[in-house]
Amino acid sequence: MCFAHTATPLCVLQNIESSLPVGTIFGIYKFKNTSPAGTGSFLQKGDEMVAAGYVLYSATTVMVLTLGNGVDGFTLDPDKKEFFHTHPDMRIPSCGPLVCFNEGLL
């Protein structure tokens, strides 16, 4: 049995106001059966994750997922209500332009 730990969406208000995508970052860990349930089930090391990824919600919904060996992207087809494997074996380019935006206000 596994459970997911989901982080709070990042920079939601500013992205929505600017029509930029918002998203959710998540990690999935194996459930540690402790009785009673305690922090040991929730506070686990990152290298104990069995999967991790993020989902971007915009005009197109995209989920990027790793199971620990490679990264793949999936795009939601809203008519069929299914994710399709649209970005196999995603990689960060060895070099390329640097793009930064969305400076947050603290």
How many separate domains does the chain show?
1
pLDDT digits (tens, 9 = 90+) for 24-57: 999 998 877 766 666 777 788 888 899 999 999 8
pLDDT digits (tens, 9 = 90+) for 13-25: 555 556 667 889 9
**Does residue 75 form part of some domain?**
yes
CA distance 35 to 27: 23
**Does residue 103 form part of some domain?**
no
pLDDT digits (tens, 9 = 90+) for 50-92: 999 999 988 889 999 999 999 999 999 999 999 999 999 999 8
Cα 12 from chain centre: 15
Q: What does the block give as tokens for 21? A: 């995508």
Claim: this prediction has a pTM higher than 0.85: no
Structural domain of 65: 2-32+48-87
Residue 40 near residue 68 (C-beta atoms within 8 A) = no
Which one, of 32, 45, 22, 23, lies nearest residue 2 by Cα?
32
